[in-house]
Amino acid sequence: MSQFFINLDIEREERYDFAKFLDYQDQTLDPLTSKFLTELRKLPVSDQLAVGALENRIDLISNRIYGETQLWWVLMEYNDLQDPENIPAATMINYPSILDLELLYFNLNSDRISKGE
């Protein structure tokens, strides 16, 4: 049986902790079956950012886009990137809007609550 957990009682920075979006199956966190990750990839591109020569780490890019480093993994997943510490200069990073992320987050939580999870 799969579990999906979102805690709305914490600040946004903690709310987007990657581990909370993983399905928990047989004592294992499984990122490949996460509903959040599946739906994240379907969000429309809000904008693009060309990576500069001095900001080749995804946490720095996240801070530039969203004003916080906590969403680095969203950018990794959304752009299918492999190395968070070496993003080549001039790479185009697509990203969803924070509003779309929040709506996805709350819609999944509403689904979970309506199912009695």
pLDDT in tens, 39-97: 999 999 999 999 988 888 999 999 999 998 889 989 999 999 999 888 899 999 999 99
For the chain, the structural domain boundaries read 12-114
Q: How far apart are the first and last CA of the chain?
A: 11
* 90 phi and psi angles, rounded to 5 deg: 75, 0
Which residue type occupies 40? L
Q: What is the rounded distance in angstroms from the CA atom of residue 61 to the CA atom of residue 84? A: 10
pLDDT at 107: 83
